[in-house]
Each structure stands twice: as C-alpha cells, then as structure tokens.
C-alpha cells in the first residue's frame, strides 16, 4: 500500500467525520437557536438555504462514513453526487448571498478539494480495493 494514499484515505475519514459533526451541530442550532454554545448559522443565508446547507453537509459526511464502514462499492459515485450538491450550493451562496472579499478564492479552493477527492476516490488502488471496485 502506498503510504501517501493510506494517509490521505485516513484523513478523508476524519474530514468527513468532522463534516458530519459540523452538520449535526448546525441542525441543532437551526432547530434550537437558543443553544448558547453554537454559532454556526450564516445570517446572509435565508432559512431555506441554511437548511439545505446542513442537509448537504450531513449527507456528504454521512455518506462517506457509511460507505467507508460498510465498504459500499458505490461510495465514489455517491460522493461525487454529494460533492456536486455541495458545490452547487456553494456557487449559489457565493454568487448571490455572500459579500466578503475572499469568497471567490474560498469557492475555488472548495471546488479544487471536491475534484481532488473525487479523483482520488476513483483512481486510488487502495480505495478501489477497500470499496471492492475493480
């Protein structure tokens, strides 16, 4: 096994665990805004967009972790769909709602991350072996 591939695959598990926790906490705050120790909602997003934001994050993190634990062979395809959903929301949020000066750079870096991870999921021999894809 390639050490870089092993390290990156392990990091993806942690990143997606972080996404799932972030999304769940976002939902907690969304449905119970009086929770004092969470401050995850973006005031620039309308309520419906904020809800979709958390759905996408929970779906992405949860799908990867489910696929990893169960060795679901369709995980790379499912994650490509999840990343597409998150990228679409990112574009709408960046182009229509956000006003900070670094928003386009952040969107570009997010897109690079999604594409890089998707390529890794489809091309890594270790990933293919883990998910039973040949």
Domain of residue 108 covers 3-130
Helix and strand numbers (H, E) in the chain are 5, 0
Based on the structure, what is the number of domains in the chain?
1
How does pLDDT run across 21-69, given as a tens digit for each residue? 999 999 999 999 888 778 899 999 999 999 999 999 999 999 999 999 9
Closest CA to 15 of 110, 124, 88, 106: 110
What tens digit of pLDDT does each residue of 94-132 get?
Answer: 999 999 999 999 999 999 999 999 999 999 999 999 998
């Amino acid at each position: 096994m390639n050490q870089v591939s092993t390290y990156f695959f392990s990091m993806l598990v942690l990143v997606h665990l972080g996404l799932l926790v972030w999304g769940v906490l976002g939902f907690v705050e969304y449905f119970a805004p009086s929770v004092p120790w969470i401050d995850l909602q973006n005031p620039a997003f309308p309520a419906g967009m904020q809800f979709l934001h958390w759905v996408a994050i929970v779906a992405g993190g949860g799908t990867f972790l489910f696929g990893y634990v169960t060795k679901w062979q369709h995980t790379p395809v499912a994650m490509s769909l999840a990343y597409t959903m998150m990228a679409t929301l990112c574009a709408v949020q960046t182009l229509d709602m956000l006003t900070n000066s670094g928003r386009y750079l952040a969107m570009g870096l997010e897109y690079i991350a999604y594409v890089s991870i998707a390529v890794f999921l489809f091309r890594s021999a270790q990933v293919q072996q883990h998910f039973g894809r040949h």
